[in-house]
């Protein structure tokens, strides 16, 4: 595994859910805790949770925490905070807090595809890019220049030749929970 910083993005406002989704229970623990527990199983150089104080106060996390004071300005604010906290030469693996079914095998496959030059992400049976996404160190400046709510997909679209999809046969592993209907499917 190349030196990699894991950045867990968890400062969203959950507008489509109508409540802070990352604290809703899935499998007996807050949704975000699944992503944190998964990240903790890997030997990342650094692991940084980018979140709000309200969420930070409710999770069990031994890694670093970067509080996003302006999540309403879009996902780019969290991306920039995570990149700023990362080791300068590391690849950057962005995990989302709302993918409670994501597994070690998927993360392992993404990390194995890291050549130090690529943008690596999973695709399910629909062949559409999903999270988590890994960016080689050369994309650091592009990620720091992001604005608005587009996040890393803006960088991915700028560099199609650098994109490296990793196929995940079970598309359910890549699902994110955004709406009450999504949550009902996975709630206890």
What's the pLDDT tens digit per position in 87-145? 999 999 999 999 999 999 999 999 999 999 999 999 999 999 999 999 999 999 999 99
- Residues 132-153 have pLDDT tens digits of 999 999 999 999 999 988 789 9
* First-last CA distance in the chain: 35
Confidence band, pLDDT 50/70/90 cuts, at residue 18: low
CA distance 63 to 70: 21
Segment holding 184, helix H or strand E: helix 180-186
| Token pair belonging to 118 | 């690529």
Mean pLDDT of the chain: 91
- The pLDDT value recorded for residue 11 is 87
Q: Residue 17: pLDDT above 80? A: no
CA distance 106 to 118: 17
Contact 109, 52 (CB under 8 A): no
| Token pair belonging to 173 | 């592993």
Contact 47, 35 (CB under 8 A): no
DSSP 3-state of 159: coil
DSSP 3-state of 92: strand
Contact 186, 177 (CB under 8 A): yes
| Token pair belonging to 142 | 């592009």
- Model pTM score: 0.93
């Amino acid at each position: 595994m190349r030196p990699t910083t894991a950045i867990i993005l968890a400062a969203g406002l959950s507008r489509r859910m109508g409540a802070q989704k990352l604290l809703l229970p899935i499998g007996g623990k807050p949704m975000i805790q699944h992503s944190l527990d998964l990240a903790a199983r890997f030997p990342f150089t650094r692991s940084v949770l980018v979140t709000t104080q309200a969420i930070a106060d409710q999770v069990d996390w031994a890694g670093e925490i970067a509080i996003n004071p302006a999540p309403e300005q879009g996902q780019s604010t969290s991306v920039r905070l995570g990149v700023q906290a990362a080791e300068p030469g590391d690849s950057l693996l962005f995990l989302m807090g709302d993918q409670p079914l994501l597994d070690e095998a998927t993360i392992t496959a993404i990390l194995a595809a890291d050549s130090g030059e690529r943008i690596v992400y999973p695709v399910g049976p629909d062949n559409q890019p999903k999270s988590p996404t890994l960016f080689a160190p050369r994309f650091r400046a592009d990620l720091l220049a992001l604005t608005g709510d587009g996040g890393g997909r803006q960088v991915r679209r700028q560099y199609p030749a650098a994109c490296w999809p990793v196929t995940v046969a079970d598309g359910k592993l890549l699902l994110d929970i955004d709406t009450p209907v999504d949550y009902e499917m996975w709630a206890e």
